[in-house]
Amino acid sequence: MKILQANLHRSRIADDLLSQIVLEHCVDLVIICEQYRVKQPGIWLENEDKTAAIWIPATGDIRCLGDGRGSCYVYVQLKEFTIFSCYLTPNDTIEAFQHKIDDIEDIARQMHGSLIVAGDFNSRAEEWGMPTTNSRGRKILNMSARVGLVVANVGRAPTFQRMGQTGTIPDITLVSENSAHRILDWKVLDIYNGSDHEYISFSTEGSSAHHVGNQIRTSHRWNVNRLNQNRLIGEIDRSQIDSNERTSVESVVSSTMSTIKRACDASMPKSGNPHRRGAEVYWWTDEISALRETSLRYRRHLTRARRSGNFATQEEEYKKAKKLLNIAIRISKRNKWKSLCNDVNKDPWGLGYKLVMKKLRSRSTLPDIDEGHMDNIVKTLFPPHPIRPAYTALQPSEEHFELFSEDELTKAIGSMKNRMKE
Q: What is the tens place of the pLDDT at every residue in 99-109?
A: 999 999 999 99
By C-alpha distance, which of 120, 117, 125 is closest to 92?
A: 120
**In this structure, are residues 152 and 173 in contact, taking their beta carbons and an 8 Å threshold?**
yes
**In this structure, are residues 195 and 211 in contact, taking their beta carbons and an 8 Å threshold?**
no
Q: What percent of the chain has pLDDT over 90?
A: 43
Domain ranges of the chain: 2-208, 222-267, 286-361
Concatenating the DSSP letter of every residue in 337-379 gives HHHHHHHHHH-TTSHHHHHHHHHHHT--S-----HHHHHHHHH
Q: What's at 71, amino acid-wise? A: S
**54-108 pLDDT per residue, tens:** 999 876 678 889 999 999 999 999 988 999 999 999 999 999 999 999 999 999 9
**94-149 pLDDT per residue, tens:** 999 999 999 999 999 999 889 999 999 999 999 999 999 999 999 999 999 999 99
**Burial degree of 304 (CB within 10 A; 0-12, 13-18, 19+):** exposed
**In this structure, are residues 33 and 52 in contact, taking their beta carbons and an 8 Å threshold?**
yes
Average pLDDT, the chain: 81
Q: Which residue has the higher pLDDT, 30 or 374?
A: 30
By C-alpha distance, which of 143, 167, 141, 195 is closest to 4?
A: 195
At residue 408 the predicted structure's pLDDT band, cuts being 50, 70 and 90, is: confident
Top CATH class of 2-208 equals alpha beta
Q: Which residue has the higher pLDDT, 330 or 40?
A: 330
pLDDT of residue 44: 94
At residue 209 the predicted structure's pLDDT band, cuts being 50, 70 and 90, is: very low
Q: What distance in Å separates the CA atoms of residue 303 and residue 176, rounded to the nearest whole number?
A: 35
| Angle between helix 94-109 and 135-147 (nearest 10) | 10
pTM, full prediction: 0.66
Dihedral angle over CA of 282, 284, 285, 287, nearest 10:
160
Min mean pLDDT across 330-339, 352-361, 364-373 is at 364-373
pLDDT of residue 397: 59
Mean pLDDT in residue range 304-310: 73
271: phi then psi, degrees, rounded to nearest 5: -80, 170
pLDDT of residue 386: 74
**In this structure, are residues 300 and 311 in contact, taking their beta carbons and an 8 Å threshold?**
no
For the cut 90, the answer to whether the pLDDT of residue 410 exceeds it is no
Q: Which residue has the higher pLDDT, 310 or 368?
A: 310
Q: What distance in Å separates the CA atoms of residue 134 and residue 126, rounded to the nearest whole number?
A: 9
For the cut 70, the answer to whether the pLDDT of residue 251 exceeds it is no
pLDDT of residue 250: 61
pLDDT of residue 378: 80
Min mean pLDDT across 1-5, 90-94, 209-213 is at 209-213
For the cut 90, the answer to whether the pLDDT of residue 169 exceeds it is yes
Min mean pLDDT across 162-171, 194-203, 365-374, 377-386 is at 365-374
What is the distance, to the nearest Å, from the Cα of residue 37 to the centroid of all Cα atoms in its chain?
A: 14
